[in-house]
Structure 1
Amino acid sequence: MSTVAKKPKLKTSAMIASIAGEGQVTRSAPFGHALVELARSKSNVIGMTADLGKYTDLHIFGKEFPDRYYQMGMAEQLLMGAAAGFAHEGAQPFVTTYAVFATRRAYDFIHQAIAEDNLDVKIVAALPGLTTGYGPSHQAAEDLALMRAMPNMTVIDPCDALDIEQMVPAIAAHKGPVYARLLRGNVPAVLDEYDYKFELGKAKLLRDGNDVLLISSGIMTMRSLEVAKALEADNIGVAVLHVPTIKPLDTATILREAKRTGRMVIVAENHTVIGGLGEAVAGTLLGAGVTPPFRQIALPDEFLAAGALPTLHDRYGISTDTMAASIKTWLG
C-alpha cells in the first residue's frame, strides 16, 4: 500500500500583518523614517496617534522629536479634533491610527472638523483592506469608498516602501487634508527596479503588454507585477498601470492606456468591489465612451473572515496564484 507524504502546514496566524513574501527584499518602517527626514526641514510637522505609535511606525518620529509627538490615548475622535485645532494654529499634523478606526469610528470628526475647513491634516492609516487576519473589526475593506466620497479629501494607496518614502514629502507639500493607507514594519521594496517616482495625482505604467492591462493600487500593484511575470510563461502579455492616487484620479493616463485596442482591462484592488478604484475606473471609461472588456479583482461585498493572510488572500482571490488563474479563465 502506497502512502503520500503530507506537506507540512505553514505556521502562521491572524496576527501576521506583513504582506512580504519569503525572501522578499524589505525596508523597515519607511513611513517613520521618511517623516523624521521631513520634520528636520519643516518645524511645523507634528506626529499624533491614538495609542498606536508602535504599530504605525510613528514611535520612530516620537523618539527623534519627543516635543512634537502627541499620544492621545485610545480616543480617535479626540485625535482628529485635536489635529484640526493644531492645523488651525499653523501646525501640519501627521495623524496615525488603524484604517478602520480613522474611517469608521472618527468619520464625522474628519468630515466636519478637518475636511469641511480644508485643513492641512495628513491621516496615515495602517492595516488597510485585507492586511490583517483579525476579521471585520480590524479589516478596513471599505475605507477608500468612504474617504473618496468626502469633499476636499485626497486619497492615496501606496504600493511599497519606495512609494511611502516618496509619498511623505509629496503630501506635505500639498495643502489640504490627505488620507493615505499605510504599510508598516518590514515593507516590501518592489518599485525600485522600475525607475519609479511617486507624483501626487499621477498613474505610472510600470510595464507594458499586449493582452491585458492591469490597473492597480496598493499591494495589488505588487501582486500585479508578480502575475505579469508568471503569465509570461503562457505567452500572455500583461501591462501594469500603478495608480497610487485614488482621488484625484489620473483619468488622462487611464483613458490613454485603456483606449489601446485588443486588451482586456482589469482593475485589481485590496478593497471591496464597491466604491473603490474599480468603480472609479469603470465610471471614467464609461463616461468617455471607452468600452474594452472589463473585469475587477477585489474583495467581495461581505464581512471577511478571520484567519491567516495567505489563506484569506487565496480565498478572496487577491493572491498571485488566484489572480493568474482568474485572468487565464477570462481570456479563455
Structure 2
Amino acid sequence: MTTTTAPKLKTSAMIASFVDPGQRTVTAPFGNALVTAARENDKIVGLSADLSKYTDMHIFAQAFPERFFQMGMAEQLLFGAAAGMAETGLIPFASTYSVFAARRAYDFLCLDAAEPMLNVNIVGGLPGLTTGYGPSHQATEDMAIFRGMPNLTIVDPCDSVDIEQAVPQLAASDGPTYLRLLRGKVATVLDEYDYTFELGKAKVIRPGNDVVLVSSGLMTMRALQAASNLEKHNIDVAVVHTPTIKPFDAETVLAELDTPRLAFTCENHTKIGGLFETVASAVVERGLGKRIGAISLPDEFLAAGALPTLHDRYGLSTTSVEARIMAEL
C-alpha cells in the first residue's frame, strides 16, 4: 500500500506578502525603477547594509555592479558613506530595514545628511506591520522618529505606481529623503484612478459624500477596498491619498476635511507621531474644530505571527476598516 504525503507548505514571516490573492502585482518596482533612473543619470549609486536581496537593491547591484556598495551590517557606516558620496555630487540610494535606519543610525542621518541638506535617499524595508517577526523588525514608529528631523522628506507609497514614479523624483529632489519601501510582489492599485505621484502632494483618489478617509501607504489600498465594499451598504466613502507625509500637503487634505462628513486617517504606523498626528495638528492650526478618528496601529510593541492574523488583530485589514466606519456612522 502506497501512501502519499501532502507537500509541506513553507512561509516566511519576514518576506510574507499582504497582497490579496488574485490581485495585480509588479515584482520589485523599486529595484527596477532605480535601474531605469540610473540609466538616465550616472550619478545614481546604490548601497545596502547586507540586505540588498530583501530591499530589492540586488536588482540595481546586478545591473550596475561598479556603482553598488555592500557596506555589511553597519547602518551608521552605510549612511555616513552615503553622505560622503553625496558631498561629491553623487546621488546615493541606501537601503536597509526601517527599524535599523530609524533606531540605529538617526544621529548619522541627522548630522551627516539632513543638517548639510545632502541628497541622501534612505530606503527602508519592512515599514510598519509588514513583517510577522515581532518588535525587532516591525518599524511601527519610524515616521514618528523621522518627522522630527529637519530637512527630511518622508514618502509612504501605496503601491507599485507610487514607487515607480517616486524614485526619479526623489533622485531629483533637494535634501535627504526616506522611502517606506514595499518590496517583492507589490500590488498595483492606483493606475485605475487616473493617478500620478507628485512629491509633496496629496490626491483625492475617490470622491464620497458620507465619509472621508485620509490615508497613506498600503492603507490607501485598504481604504479603497473598504470604500468599494461599503457601497453595498449605501455608504459613500471618499479616499484622499497622502503619500508624502513630510512636507505635508495641508491645503488638499484640509479642503476635504472641512465638511460635515465623518473623517478618519488610515496608516500602517502607530497612532503616535505619524499621519494621524500630522493631520490633527494641521486641523488644529487651521481652527477647523473637526473630529478625526485614527485607524492605525496601537502604541505598543506588536506580536509576532502571520500577517493576515496580525492585520486583523490590530485593525489594518479591509474588514476592520469597514467595521470601524459602520460602527461610527
TM (normalized to structure 2)? 0.96
**Cα deviation code 1:130-168 (max 9, x no counterpart):** 000000000000000111100010000000000000000
Unaligned runs of 5+ in 1: 1-9
Taking a change above 3 Å as real, the CA distance of residues 58 and 12 of structure 1, as seen in their structure-2 partners, is closer
Q: Of 303, 309, 315, which aligns to 1:317?
A: 315
Q: In the alignment, what sits opposite 1:164?
A: 163
Quick one: distance in 1 between partners of 2:309 and 2:18? 12
Matches within 5 A, 1:99-248: 99-248=98-247
SS at match of 2:130: coil
Unaligned runs of 5+ in 2: 1-8
1:14 offset after TM fit, Å?
2.6
**Cα deviation code 1:159-207 (max 9, x no counterpart):** 0000000000111111110011000000000001011100011000010
Q: In the alignment, what sits opposite 1:255?
A: 254
Matches within 5 A, 1:36-51: 36-51=35-50
SS at match of 1:227: helix
**Amino acid in the other structure paired with 2:298:** P
Q: Percent identity?
A: 61
Matches within 5 A, 1:19-98: 19-98=18-97
Q: Is the 1:92–1:120 contact (alpha carbons within 8 Å) kept by the matching residues of 2?
A: yes
**Amino acid in the other structure paired with 2:153:** T
TM (normalized to structure 1)? 0.95
Quick one: distance in 2 between partners of 1:238 and 1:292? 17
Q: In the alignment, what sits opposite 2:276?
A: 278
Quick one: distance in 2 between partners of 1:291 and 1:319? 29
**Cα deviation code 1:284-305 (max 9, x no counterpart):** 1111111233200000000000
CA-atom RMSD in angstroms: 1.1
Taking a change above 3 Å as real, the CA distance of residues 17 and 197 of structure 1, as seen in their structure-2 partners, is same
Aligned length: 321
Quick one: distance in 1 between partners of 2:297 and 2:156? 15
Q: In the alignment, what sits opposite 1:307?
A: 305
1:17 offset after TM fit, Å?
2.8
Taking a change above 3 Å as real, the CA distance of residues 12 and 69 of structure 1, as seen in their structure-2 partners, is closer
Quick one: distance in 2 between partners of 1:13 and 1:117? 40
Taking a change above 3 Å as real, the CA distance of residues 328 and 199 of structure 1, as seen in their structure-2 partners, is same
**Cα deviation code 1:66-93 (max 9, x no counterpart):** 1000000111111011111111111110
**Cα deviation code 1:251-306 (max 9, x no counterpart):** 0001111112x201100000000000100101111111112332000000000000
SS at match of 2:92: strand
SS at match of 1:284: helix
**Cα deviation code 1:299-328 (max 9, x no counterpart):** 000000000000000000110011110110
Taking a change above 3 Å as real, the CA distance of residues 12 and 230 of structure 1, as seen in their structure-2 partners, is farther
**Amino acid in the other structure paired with 2:168:** P
SS at match of 1:176: coil
Q: In the alignment, what sits opposite 2:5?
A: none
Q: Is the 1:127–1:183 contact (alpha carbons within 8 Å) kept by the matching residues of 2?
A: yes
